[in-house]
Amino acid sequence: MGLRLTVDGDKFDDRVASVAAAFPGLIPVIKGNGYGFGRPLLFPIAARVSDTIAVGTVYEAVGAPADRRLMVLTPHVAALPENLAAQAMLTVGSLAHVDALTRAPWRGEVVVKLESSMHRYGVSADHLDELASAVVAAGLTCAGYALHLPLDGSDEQRLAEIEAWLPKLDDAATLSVSHLGASTYAQLCAAHPDRRFRIRLGTQLWHGDKQHVRLSADVLAVRTIRSDESAGYRRVTVPADGSLVMIAAGSAHGVQPLDDGRSPFHFEQRRLTLLEPPHMHTSMVFVPAGESCPSVGDHVDVQRPLTTTNVDEVAWIDD
């Protein structure tokens, strides 16, 4: 088939349910390539555990469940897609973002993004009241606040950032946060029982236990080759007698050598050697004579981050 992501469906579902139980108010995040699974596949799973789903951009909101609210995490300053879901909540973090929605025009709900120590986008405390007034003047409805915390640092540091913002916010408004562990999130909620918190989870939710997933690719062809012959796009000289193995995964799938230059492919728990960098839909590996070599139709394991990988097929299996 090509590049395949195999998922143990029962264990995956159990994992998602356990994370949802540990994080009351969970907002599942489904953005980019859907964390390797694809957004259409994850949308119904997210809908089972939450009334709200977060997506990365207004373009990613297309196709989301119509009976769930959508939090669009990235501000938008261009024309809005005509098929943007009416239940979307768009993010604003500056007066320019509000002006852009006014021109769009958009008259739905918005979420006010607060500046964190990431300093990416978001309103500072000094300009929060000004932005809130602009939201009202534009005829928009504020659905709450969002704070995107950095991955670097400790939970204690992230919790301190949240606590510093709370006195500046409307007590009745919802605040969604990110990148907190379950115990720290529970601590936050317990310390402020009169406030409504929600937590956005993506990687922790979908990639929490990688034992439940396997990334593999099909072997398309195998041919013997002699030492000092050349092969591949770059006519690489083969180092010894052996076999060339053509694997159905390449740069079009996001498959590349590892950061240290090593091959991402394994067969029978042994790393295969790339003849040259992966190209489009095929990678060529070299197997020396005398070593175990895959055959046409075999699967080889692929070591790549799912968030940057485009698979051809997701195969669900049950215990």
| 51 and 199 part of one domain | yes
Strand 265-267 relative to strand 299-302: parallel, antiparallel, unpaired? antiparallel
Beta-ladder partners of 70: 53, 88
| 200 and 64 part of one domain | yes
- The gap from C-alpha 150 to its chain's centroid, in whole angstroms, comes to 15
Starting at the earlier edge strand, list the strands of the sheet with 196-201.
Answer: 26-28, 196-201, 174-178, 141-147, 109-114, 88-92, 69-72, 52-55
Q: How far apart are alpha carbons 264 and 301 in whole angstroms?
A: 8
Q: In total, how many domains does the chain have?
A: 2
Instruction: Among 179, 206, 233, give the residue marking a domain's end.
Output: 206
Both tokens assigned to 98:
């509000």
Both tokens assigned to 104:
């769009």
| 173 and 246 part of one domain | no
| 138 and 275 part of one domain | no
**Domain CATH number, residue 266:** 2.40.37.10
| 34 and 180 part of one domain | yes
Residue 267, CA distances (Å) to 273, 291, 300, 311 in order: 11, 11, 5, 19
Q: Is residue 15 part of a domain?
A: yes
- Residue 286: which residues within 8 A CB-CB, separation 6 or more? 225, 238, 239, 242, 243, 244, 245, 272, 273, 274, 275
Q: Is the pLDDT of residue 46 over 90?
A: yes
- Mean pLDDT in residue range 145-155: 96
Give tens-digit pLDDT for 184-220.
999 999 999 999 999 999 999 999 888 889 999 999 9
Q: Is residue 54 part of a domain?
A: yes
**Out of 40-49, 72-81, 203-212, 293-302, least confident range:** 203-212
| 187 and 224 part of one domain | no
Q: Is residue 1 part of a domain?
A: no
Residue 298, CA distances (Å) to 128, 197, 216 in order: 58, 48, 10
| 130 and 13 part of one domain | yes
| 98 and 227 part of one domain | no
Q: Is the pLDDT of residue 148 over 70?
A: yes
206 close to 13: Cβ distance less than 8 angstroms: no
pLDDT of residue 83: 87
| 217 and 184 part of one domain | no
pLDDT of residue 144: 97
Question: Which has the higher per-residue pLDDT, 113 or 85?
Answer: 113
Q: Is the pLDDT of residue 319 over 70?
A: no
- Residue 63: which residues within 8 A CB-CB, separation 6 or more? 39, 40, 43
| 19 and 159 part of one domain | yes
Q: Is residue 3 part of a domain?
A: no
pLDDT of residue 63: 85
Domain with 259 in it: 212-317
State the Rg of the chain over Cα.
24
- Mean pLDDT in residue range 58-85: 93
Instruction: Among 145, 179, 206, give the residue marking a domain's end.
Output: 206
Q: Is residue 304 part of a domain?
A: yes
Q: Is residue 105 part of a domain?
A: yes
| 194 and 268 part of one domain | no
Share of the chain above pLDDT 70, in %: 99
| 196 and 116 part of one domain | yes
Q: What is the pTM of this model?
A: 0.92
- Mean pLDDT in residue range 52-68: 94
Average pLDDT score, the chain: 95
